[in-house]
Chains A and B, each alone.
Chain A
Amino acid sequence: MFDPKTRILIVDDMLSMRKMIIKMCKDMGYTDLIGAEDGDKAWEEIQKAEQPFGLVISDWNMPNCTGLDLLKRVRADAKFNKTPFLMLTAEAEGHQVAAAVTSGVDGYVVKPFAQTGLSEKMAAVHKKRAS
């Protein structure tokens, strides 16, 4: 599992969902949690961060810059392209999963999800990155 000090960026246009994910991460023991309301804001946070993010948890459907757009930007930049990336969506369609996998997503969480489900996905991403 990720170290509790891991810096996590949580991206969702719904404030309520960001708060829910932040609560779940806090309950798992994580303390360094930053929220962003869309892919553009998240990209700004990633670029300006003095301490790099150890994980991005991003919604798929967002205005301005979607989760997939953000993932592509992260993967295209040599400085950030190793950042673990977990995608969230309300409806996991086959073509969405295929597009995210092609763009280098590390894992996929379908809403609704419980804290245990998110924790398992995060552990799987960590294991994949560690191997």
Chain B
Amino acid sequence: MNVVGTQLDNRYIVNEYNKYTILRLGGELNDAQAEQYLKEALPKIISSSFDLIINCEYLTKLSQSWLHALGATEQSIRKNNKGLRLILVRDDIKLLLVDKGLSRVLQVNTNLRDALLSLELVGKKSLDVGFINPFLDATLTVLKIQAQIGANAGKIYIRKDSSELSGDISGVIGLVSDSFSGNVIITFPEKTFLAMMSKMHGEEYTEINKENADGASELTNMIFGQAKITLNEQGYGIKTALPSLIVGKSHRFSGNKVELIVVVPFESELGNFFVEICLSDN
């Protein structure tokens, strides 16, 4: 049985993103792995000249050899005038860092968003492409697999009016982590939505009604679930949430005070629709 998930057992993985590198540590890493890391992975991390974020979500134990390896990593990163942050760190590992006198050099942030803000890689009123792309990819994947609908993403833009949505029916799901919150909204014009639901259900619809309306929240739920896997692998620490539905011409969304709304317009073979990512004041 295949398990889709983000577990990382007794391994380390290095991934390079747009402006930073993420090192994921999982389980209990041994001395031989620390030696291998110093010999093979660290030189590559240093050569990238990016800031380094160490995702500790699945790290359960930090041995002496790995404390040494992380200390050596911090020194090398600092020589390059770059920053290093640890994210999603368990309390016992935080205490170990304090105990070993490493808490000042190995700085801990709550999650990836906090680390990117702290390293000044994003502003408070902006989003990294690494946050938006998983929603874009998840939207295309869900529509292709679940509905056999091809779509293309258009030019992303920022919307200032926080209340009026672009479509006639919207699925909304909370974007909740320990340090930021917001919503992901998938909003469809009536014509697009009815065409999609007609195709998915094999029934011809001429109006939005109780037979088809919850399709918007189901699609939103699936898109959120797919994107969440990728985002949490990076270290955003997003929690599970349940979708809700808003229906009506030029309907409005009243959430917390919104700091930023990023809109991704999509054009599909059945019409256009929008994915809106809203970040709020926490």
Mark A residues whose CB is within 8 Å of B: 14-17, 19-20, 23, 26-27, 61, 90-94, 97, 101, 107-108, 110-114, 117
Contacts and interface: CB of A to CB of B under 8 A. Distances in A.
Contacts of A111: 146, 221-222, 225
Given A16-B215, A90-B222, A111-B222, A97 B146 contact: no
18 contacts: A14-B214, A15-B214, A16-B213, A20-B200, A23-B202, A90-B221, A92-B3, A93-B5, A94-B5, A94-B7, A97-B3, A108-B1, A111-B221, A112-B145, A112-B226, A113-B146, A114-B145, A114-B146
Interface string B188-222: 00000000010011110000001111110110011
Contacts of B133: none
Contacts of A110: 2, 4
A15 B211 contact: yes
Contact of A101 (B1, B141, B203, B217): B1
Chain B interface bracket (under 10, 10 to 19, 20 to 34, 35 or more): 20 to 34
Contacts of B142: 112
Contacts of A20: 146, 200-201
B229 A17 contact: no
A112 to B, nearest CB: 4
Contacts of B211: 15, 19
A23 B225 contact: no
A46 to B, nearest CB: 24
Interface string B172-201: 000000000000000000000000010011
Contacts, number: 71
Given A111-B146, A112-B142, 4 more contacts: A19-B200, A91-B240, A93-B5, A113-B145
A57 B210 CA distance: 22
Contacts of A15: 210-211, 214
B1 A16 contact: no
Contact of A92 (B5, B201, B224): B5
Contacts of B213: 16
Contacts of B197: 16
B225 A90 contact: yes
B152 interface: no
A16 B218 contact: yes
Contacts of A117: 145
Given A90-B222, A91-B240, A19 B146 contact: no
Q: Among the interface residues B5, B141, B142, B212, which one has the most CB atoms of the partner chain A within 10 A?
A: B5
A16 B201 contact: yes
B33 interface: no
B228 interface: yes
A23 B211 CA distance: 14
B80 interface: no
Contacts of B225: 90-91, 111
B148 interface: yes
A26 B202 contact: yes
B90 to A, nearest CB: 17
Interface string B259-277: 0000000000000000000
Contacts of B201: 16, 19-20, 23
